[in-house]
């Protein structure tokens, strides 16, 4: 298993976890881009949003729900979700992940 986020989901690489259950794990980003910056991943390996199939709809919807709930638990009502697909869009880890950013003004459009 060479995928770093599969290793995180499997507990092989320690991270600062904010939430986990049988389907998803939420943990702080190693290189935070905002006062609150965490990732939510499905335990199931999906290379990115373009790899989602109909059978993953419930799971990826749960990723969004958990992202919002963890943000709320961290005291944030305003936050941004980001999901990158492909290197040109900034994807560096090819296991689907939701970025949740909060705690500073976030510009639009993103750079
Ligand atoms: P992306 O560029 O959208 O693929 O996002 C990958 C994110 O994973 C980056 O924000 C990295 O800082 C983060 N990251 C990579 N390795 C780790 C790790 N071991 N623990 C926490 N975050 C990580």
For each of the chain's 111 residues, which pLDDT tens digit applies?
A: 699 999 999 999 999 999 999 999 999 999 999 999 999 999 999 999 999 999 999 999 999 999 999 999 999 999 999 999 999 999 999 999 999 999 999 999 998
CA distance readout (Å), 55 to 6, 36, 46, 84, 94:
19, 31, 12, 21, 19
pLDDT value at position 1? 63
Residue whose CA is at the smallest distance from ligand 1 atom 17: 30
What's the fold here for domain 4-102?
A: HIT family, subunit A (3.30.428)
Q: How far is the CA of 30 from the centre of ligand 1 (A)?
A: 6
pLDDT value at position 75? 98
**H/E stretch holding 57:** helix 57-73
Task: Please give the structure tokens belonging to residue 110.
Answer: 């993103």
pLDDT value at position 52? 98
- CB of 26 closer than 8 Å to CB of 70: yes
Q: How far is the CA of 66 from the centre of ligand 1 (A)?
A: 18
Q: What residues line ligand 1, using a CB cutoff of 6 Å? A: 4, 13, 15, 27, 29-31, 39, 84, 90-93
Q: Which phi and psi angles does 55 have, rounded to 5°?
A: -70, -10
Closest CA to 39 of 99, 88, 94: 99
Catalytic residue among 37, 45, 95, 97: 97
Return the bridge partners of 28, or none: 38
pLDDT value at position 111? 81
Closest CA to 10 of 32, 27, 33: 27
């Amino acid at each position: 298993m060479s995928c770093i986020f599969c290793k995180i989901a499997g507990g092989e690489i320690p991270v600062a976890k904010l939430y986990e259950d049988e389907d998803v794990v939420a943990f702080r980003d190693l290189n935070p881009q905002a006062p609150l910056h965490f990732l939510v991943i499905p335990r199931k390996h999906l290379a990115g949003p373009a790899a989602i199939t109909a059978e993953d709809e419930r799971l990826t919807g749960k990723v969004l729900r958990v992202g919002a709930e963890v943000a709320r638990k961290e005291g944030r009502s305003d936050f941004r979700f980001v999901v990158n697909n492909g290197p040109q869009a900034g994807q560096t880890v090819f296991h689907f992940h939701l970025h949740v950013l909060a705690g500073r003004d976030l510009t639009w459009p993103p750079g």
